Amino acid sequence: MDKIQITQPSITQLEIDYVNDAVTNGWGAKCYDYIYKFQDAFSNYIGSDYCLATSSCTGAIHLGLMALGIKEGDEVIVPESTWIASVEPVMYIGAKPVFVDVLKDTWCIDPKKIEEAITPKTKAIIVVHLYGNVCEMDEIMGIAKRHDLKVLEDSAEGLGSEYRGKKCGAIGDCGVFSFHGTKTMTTGEGGMLVTNNKEIYEKVSVLNDHGRNPKDPENKTFWMRDYGYKYKMANINAALGLAQISRMDELVEKKRLIFNWYKEELSGNEGIQLNEEQEYAFNSYWMPTIVFLKPLNINRELLFSKFQSENIDSRPFFLPLSSLPMFDSVKENKISYQIGYNGINLPSHHALKKSEIAAICDVLRKFILTN
């Protein structure tokens, strides 16, 4: 059997045609054409007034935090369970990430823990729609309003997910997305910052162009008042993104179908928790995930080895960030520590067949029975 990959993009002739056109014609006066088209199309899909395409989601977070006014010494509340890219930009600035625990059903940041962690130094909250699961945005935005905090919505894994009919990423002060090759849609590598706040958009636009501000009265060619950054997306990448965003409904529909195949196959298996979809949410199920609950006591490394021997790719749940050597551990974040060492991600790319998912689940069931 050919190896079952955990992720890979869905590429059609449309993507190939757009990229070929960008490579052939997207230079000189046309060097931004696909970037502008992609930003407009993404804005329409998400429902945000402003979009800025970037070279990575990490870069988008960095720009967003700076535009929100985060400075050295500030505290930013972040979920314990997420990929390191969610918090690295906090450290670029010299601010302090404050890790709080997640909810045991959605694996997303716990609003009650947010409120408990607020200090006079707290300036912002980063929420993460983990694996497509959806955060409790009404409660979080209420907390932010009461304490005069900014909210950055990390939707790197939540593209296509919705909270009470609103697309994730379009609810906070700004939102960010990832188009890495593993994600539901891809630009090869890249990201997007979205906001409904014109001031935030203008700030990130200046920061992303080496600090050059076209509105500055002293503006001249190659002149800037202050330094900035360059997290720009290339026109070629944007061409791929434009084709992909036009197919988003199709791509999300297939992700949901794949998840439901897993759910059907694994129904009735006690001691297993799959991604959940709350009544107020629409889950895009970027990554089907299983958390093994205490009764099973699964040796995860042995399971990974078994999958590998069967030519099946898999990967672990994100480790709790405070368990990494650059941070002080926060062991009281018990849910994050429990799921971080007892969760796995299963293959979810768009070309998966139902028969392949049945084979994956068969290996999993047999492993549980014999271990």
How far is residue 345 CA from its own chain's centroid? Answer: 15
Neighbours of 208 (CB within 10 A): 25
Contact (Cβ atoms closer than 8 angstroms) between residue 230 and residue 210? yes
Cα 348 from Cα 286, distance rounded (Å): 7
Give the residue from 204, 277, 239 showing the smallest Cα distance to 48.
Answer: 204
Which residue type sits at 111? P
Catalytic residue among 150, 167, 183, 254: 183
Phi, psi for 301 (deg, rounded to 5) = -65, -40
Q: Which residue is listed with tokens 């930013």?
A: 76
Contact (Cβ atoms closer than 8 angstroms) between residue 359 and residue 311? no
Cα 93 from Cα 62, distance rounded (Å): 8
Contact (Cβ atoms closer than 8 angstroms) between residue 50 and residue 196? yes
Question: Is 183 part of the annotated catalytic residue set?
Answer: yes
Active site residues: 183
